[in-house]
Amino acid sequence: MAVAAEVVIVGAGLAGLAAARRLSAAGVDHLLIDRADRIGGRVATDVVDGFRLDRGFQVLNTAYPRLADLIDLDRLDLRFFTPAVLVRRADDTVRLVHPLRMPFAAPATLLAGVGTLPDRLRLGRLLMRYALTSPARLLTRAETSAVDELRRAGLSTRIIDELLRPFLSGVLADPDLETSNHVVAMILRSFARGRIGVPAAGMADLPRALAGPLPPDRIRLATDVTAIEPGLVRTRDTDLRCRWIVVATDPPAAARLIPSVAPVRMRQLTTYYHAAEQPPVAEPILLLDGHRSGPVANTVVVSQAAPDYAPPGQHLIATSVVGRETPPETVVRAELARLYQTSTTGWCHLRTVAVVGALPAAVPPRGTLRAPAQVSSGIFVAGDHRDSPSIQGALASGWRVAGAVLRRRS
């Protein structure tokens, strides 16, 4: 049996691509394989009737540190959302701006009625602290749940329930806010420092850009890995010999391939895509359900940020629902009428995208945000379950694991 490569990377999602980029830049002979017929893993875009539907609404944050290191963000032609949110409550809709990005509008946000005035000041202070503190320092804090961290910062149940719970539940797929405060600190730090957007042509442009500099003949798709052992990767068709293996699969597949990797609970996110001739709001802004009487966490008119997401004369609305239930589209559409305070009867339902394994649960005690790179002799593990459950977590983990491989070779 011939040697396939010095390093075989199993999984061409963001973590596998980041690992391949670092190994390739160091001149290491590698082979990147994926069972799917495309790269990108959980980041994909389908074109349906001229609409670009990401396989689950997701966004890029320009402050993700590993992102700018790996790609030229200008080439993604990012289209940005307004640095603010709308919060729909029982009787009104309140607009809250990002105080660091829209300082002139910040006084209006301070006067807005979500939580109390001290709540809003404390939240501003918390975001400022996340923005200005280094990740290493934030990670030295004692580990607890997100909701405990927010309460310890003095925030009332009201501001948590009206603003932070719907916002963070859409980001982490965790309505109970049981996620580790370390993860939440990293994610809120990025929100405090960065801008949120999508590539003009869809999220699939992200893995495409990551793969750009890689030699195409070192990527093998439609190749399902059935087992690994030190120095050997078994696929359905053939066995591949190598020196090092990087398992950069989704968390359940990693646990199947490596018995010492504990299975992780996966959280579900479901996106409902609708088309409308008239946008229900005048700007690309995330609308949160602060009343939490229905299943929707957040909704946004994506095409107002990225016009190419919809054909001319149409708008694309993406609505996120968290949890194992996939409510009927009619229920979600009725909720959207309440949230946007407009009729949705003329809207066209394009698709419901339910991702059962959208994000790994990152609940304490994790001990460390960054799980060890190497799990046994010659076998390394990367992916968002080894860092924060996010694009940044996947990229950082892949990069870090490739660094560990480079150190072991030298």
Ligand X SMILES: Cc1cc2nc3c(=O)[nH]c(=O)nc-3n(C[C@H](O)[C@H](O)[C@H](O)COP(=O)(O)OP(=O)(O)OC[C@H]3O[C@@H](n4cnc5c(N)ncnc54)[C@H](O)[C@@H]3O)c2cc1C
Contacts with ligand X, residue ranges (CB under 6 A): 10-16, 33-36, 41-43, 56, 58-59, 224-225, 248-250, 253, 269, 355, 358-359, 383-384, 389-394
Measuring CA to CA, how many Å separate 124 from each of 96, 161, 204? 11, 17, 34
Q: 43 vs 114, which CB is nearer to ligand X?
A: 43
- Compute φ and ψ for 46, nearest 5 degrees: -110, 140
Closest CA to 163 of 297, 270, 38, 60: 297
Nearest-approach distance from CB 98 to ligand X, in angstroms: 16
CB of 215 to ligand X, least distance (A): 19
Task: For the chain, report the end-to-end CA distance as a whole number of angstroms.
Answer: 25
Smallest gap from Cβ 59 to ligand X, in A, equals 4
Which CB atom, from 143 or from 250, has the smaller least distance to ligand X?
A: 250
In DSSP notation, 316-354 reads EEEEEEESS----HHHHHHHHHHHHTS--TT-EEEEEEE
Amino acid identity, residue 327? P
Of 54 and 289, nearer to ligand X (C-beta) is 54
For ligand X, the closer of residues 64 and 120 by Cβ is 64
- The residue (of 38 and 152) whose beta carbon lies closer to ligand X is 38
- Three-state secondary-structure class, residue 390: coil
**Inter-axis angle of helices 181-193 and 391-409, to 10 degrees?**
110
Count helices and strands (H / E) in the chain: 14, 21
Contact present, 395 and 67 (Cβ < 8 Å) = yes
Q: Which is nearer to ligand X, 89 or 218 (CB)?
A: 218
Q: Shortest distance, CB of residue 410 to ligand X, whole angstroms?
A: 26
CB of 49 to ligand X, least distance (A): 21
Closest by CA to 106, choosing from 87, 123, 81, is 123
CB of 37 to ligand X, least distance (A): 10
